[in-house]
Amino acid sequence: MRLKKIVMENFKQYYGMQSITFSGANEGDERNVTVVYGENGRGKTTLYRSMLFGFYGDRFLEQDEHEDNKDSVIYLANLKALDDAAEEGKGIHVGVTIEFSHNGEQYEINRYFKAIKDQKGDIHEDIPSVKLRIIKEDGNTEYLDETKSEEISEIINSILDERVKNYFLFDGERIESLTKASKKQKENIRMGIKNLLKIDNLFLLKQALEENRKEINQELKKISTGDMLKNLQQLEETDQTIAELQEKINNQVKELQFAENQKADIDRKLKEIENQRPTLDKILSLEKTIERLEEEKKKTNQNMVDLTPSLSVLLAKDLVGDLIADLEGQRIRGEVPSEIKTELIDRLLNEMSCICGRELHIGSKEYEKLLDWKQKSNTQMYEKHAMKLFGDLKTTASHIMYNTGAISESLSNVVQIEEQLEIHTNDYELLKKNVGKVSEQDMVNNFQYRDSLMKDIARSEQQLESYEEQLEEAFKHKEILTKKQKSLDVENELQVQIKRKAEIVDKSLEALNEIIQSFESEIKVDLEAKANEIFKHLIDDGGSTNLKKIVVNDNYTLDVLDWSGRPFLANISAGQRQIISLSFITALAEVAGGSSILEIPLFMDTPFGRLSPDHRYNLVRHIPTITPQWILLVTGSEFKEDEEAKFLKETEKWGKLYILDAVSEGVTNIEEISPEELSIIKAKERVSIQ
């Protein structure tokens, strides 16, 4: 099977029509790797979700919260498209179209539905319809519409069995959980093996025989007395206890998985925050700078308001200057104040005596000179007011000069502050767009919620362990009662017949369990062989020396043996754990594909995690050789230009690169660029966090 193209219309984050054409769509294509590049929340996992919706109609992924949970409503319709349509009282068309090929035939499956947002704000999504178009090898075309949905499902399942569909998407959480000795690890491996067996009929038969055995016990109970009746009653009670414990275990497992999924989601968010720490620090710094500038702008504006009452005098600036110049001229000429005071001249005239003491005579030259000076001199009142005016004008001139400088400085400050605010605000908005809705308080809340989840997980695991111990004791008690039942003497012929039926059912169940265990053993051997083959290609030189092989234990736990054959999983590094998980989960996909080389495309969501450069190099070098197509879903922090991108280019298998661009809240556009243009994207990212 090879994917050619996927088109999403108003699906989740993808507004309008968005599409991806995959590398390796045709047999013989040298380049078979497609990289989808975007930060968390921009639609990487939605791409795989759209695949499962298109092929099978699935609304939920395996890692989603349990769909019965009231808080886990997942809408497939794009919320912005719904809002836009709701303004006009309309609904929208939501759909996924997948083009692919298999065994020389071309397929196009289209699954779609209508969605609408009512006046109350509630969202309604119709039941999806499906169409399939098949172009046969001979060129003939077959169309199947929604009336043949069951036939379409059969065709799709014959190409990719629905039971093993989840082994073709590897996410970081699943990769990490496989090497943790937990209930989730056992459940993942057990379900993986069970799904790979593809013997659903045997499990149904086993369930039917177990129900039949209970009915036989009921028949015996009706016709029995004494010890046999007592034993049958105890068997019935034990079966009821077992059923109740299994129900409790199932519920506890669901609660545990919910808590672990929530914790994994929080861990992803915290990891994203940690990866974005430089950007967050820059955002926090800009927030403080913007707050400071806003305060400065506020103070400057208030200062200008305070200056406003005295600004009217600025209108008289030129007039004041002229008056000062005129009075200054008079002062220089001695007219204001006069060179000789009026009081002195009057005294000299009254005394008819010069300053030197010589006597004056009326009509003399000196007398006439004093009279002339007296006429030219201003009055004392004029002099007083003139000098006061001169002083006031000088003060006014100083005031004008000061206020002119103050207002000019304030205006200049406002302009500079607004320019800085614009620059810093633009930088702030750009960084916020890149980092998403993340705050320090979000981080604190996430840590607190994570602590709460850790306590819930610990309690659930403890309770689960207690239930499993009780269940084990109940099975042991049932075994004792069953053996006792066989040894009890029958009371009549009817009991003989019923006991004979019970023996036949017991032998059938025993044989069936042996068959299932035999199948499981074969699958485990095959899984181990393929996992170790892949492991040898992925592990670095140091790991290959110390680590001998991966094993799947009888209790469905994964382990690795050291060079001497001893269990060594607890002692290996985080990167080595991830390589072991990748090896095992890739082996699951290979076994599911039923071939030595995968026949199904592989999706890997953030697979590099804590891998060393050697492990990353081995991964990008080996995976393209065992799968027809490799679709890598990566974030900027883990797909580095000088490591993963460089290694991938060296394989010459990298064909296409798509960037997920978050245009606005809930709206992602898919943009195709060449792998060589990644350096431009990286450069922009570096600039945005500086």
| Paired residues of 134 in beta bridges | 107, 142
Q: One-letter amino acid identity for 438? A: V
Which residues have a Cβ under 8 Å from the Cβ of 492 and sit 6 or more positions away?
Answer: 223
Residue 45 vs residues 56, 309, 684: alpha-carbon distances, Å:
16, 64, 24
Which residues have a Cβ under 8 Å from the Cβ of 142 and sit 6 or more positions away?
Answer: 133, 134, 136
Q: What is the pLDDT of residue 66?
A: 44
Domain boundaries along the sequence of the chain: 177-224+492-599, 338-377
Phi/psi of residue 564, each to 5°?
-100, 5
569 against 89, higher pLDDT? 89
pLDDT at 438 over 70: no
82 against 407, higher pLDDT? 82
**Residue 605, token pair as written in the block:** 């969501």
* Contact assessment for residue 100 and residue 7, using Cβ atoms and an 8 Å cutoff: no
pLDDT in tens, 499-516: 888 889 889 988 988 988
Instruction: Give the mean model confidence (pLDDT) for residues 288-316.
Output: 73
> Rounded distance, CA 55 to CA 96, Å?
9
* Pairing assessment for the beta strands 602-605 and 630-634 based on DSSP bridges: parallel
> Rounded distance, CA 61 to CA 173, Å?
13
Q: What is the pLDDT of residue 167?
A: 66
Report CA 688 to chain centroid distance, whole Å.
19
A 10 A CB-CB count for 311 gives 14
Burial (CB count within 10 angstroms: exposed 0-12, middle 13-18, buried 19+), residue 239: middle
Burial (CB count within 10 angstroms: exposed 0-12, middle 13-18, buried 19+), residue 538: buried
> Rounded distance, CA 115 to CA 119, Å?
14
Q: What is the pLDDT of residue 69?
A: 44
Q: What is the pLDDT of residue 14?
A: 95
* Contact assessment for residue 382 and residue 279, using Cβ atoms and an 8 Å cutoff: no
Q: What is the pLDDT of residue 670?
A: 94
> Rounded distance, CA 647 to CA 654, Å?
10
A 10 A CB-CB count for 588 gives 26
pLDDT in tens, 372-414: 776 655 555 555 566 566 566 566 666 666 666 666 777 777 7
pLDDT at 171 over 60: yes
Q: 50-84 in b/e burial notation, b at 16+ Cβ within 10 A? A: bbbbbbbbbeebbbebeeeeeeeeeebbbbbbbee
Peptide bond into 624 cis (omega under 30): no
Q: What is the pLDDT of residue 339?
A: 46
**Residue 655, token pair as written in the block:** 């064909």
Whose tokens are 């779609």? That residue is 112
Q: Which of 32-36, 199-203, 415-419 has the lowest mean pLDDT?
A: 199-203
* Pairing assessment for the beta strands 123-125 and 141-144 based on DSSP bridges: unpaired
Q: Which CATH number fits domain 177-224+492-599: 1.10.760, 1.10.10, 1.20.1070, 1.20.1050?
A: 1.20.1050
Whose tokens are 């409790």? That residue is 248
Q: One-letter amino acid identity for 394? A: K
pLDDT at 288 over 60: yes
Q: What is the pLDDT of residue 70?
A: 42
Report CA 597 to chain centroid distance, whole Å.
33
CA atoms within 13 A on the CB side of 268: 18
* Contact assessment for residue 440 and residue 211, using Cβ atoms and an 8 Å cutoff: no
* Pairing assessment for the beta strands 2-11 and 92-102 based on DSSP bridges: antiparallel
> Rounded distance, CA 116 to CA 295, Å?
46
Whose tokens are 């890692």? That residue is 63
Residue 533 vs residues 83, 564, 632, 651: alpha-carbon distances, Å:
52, 19, 22, 20
Instruction: Give the mean model confidence (pLDDT) for residues 490-503.
Output: 79
Q: What is the pLDDT of residue 72?
A: 56
Per-residue confidence at 430, pLDDT binned at 50, 70, 90?
confident
658 against 213, higher pLDDT? 658
* Residue 517: strand, helix, or coil: helix
Phi/psi of residue 11, each to 5°?
-105, 115
Q: In sequence order, what E strands does 516-629 have?
A: 547-552, 558-562, 602-605
Q: Which of 178-182, 281-285, 343-347 has the lowest mean pLDDT?
A: 178-182
Q: What angle do CA 517, 520, 526 make, to 5 degrees?
A: 145
Q: One-letter amino acid identity for 118? A: D
Q: What angle do CA 288, 292, 297 make, to 5 degrees?
A: 145
267 against 510, higher pLDDT? 510
pLDDT in tens, 202-235: 888 888 998 898 888 888 788 777 787 888 888 8
Top mean pLDDT of 12-21, 303-312, 610-619, 641-650 is at 12-21
| pTM for this model (two decimals) | 0.62
pLDDT in tens, 87-140: 999 999 999 999 999 988 999 999 999 999 998 889 999 999 999 999 998 889
As a whole number, the mean pLDDT across the chain is 80
662 against 307, higher pLDDT? 662
> Rounded distance, CA 394 to CA 401, Å?
10
Q: What is the pLDDT of residue 314?
A: 55
Long-range contacts of the stretch 241-245 (C-beta < 8 A, 24+): 241/474, 242/471, 242/474, 242/475, 242/478, 245/467, 245/470, 245/471, 245/474
* Pairing assessment for the beta strands 105-117 and 129-135 based on DSSP bridges: antiparallel
Q: Which of 218-227, 338-347, 379-388, 613-622 has the lowest mean pLDDT?
A: 379-388
Per-residue confidence at 307, pLDDT binned at 50, 70, 90?
low
> Rounded distance, CA 680 to CA 686, Å?
10
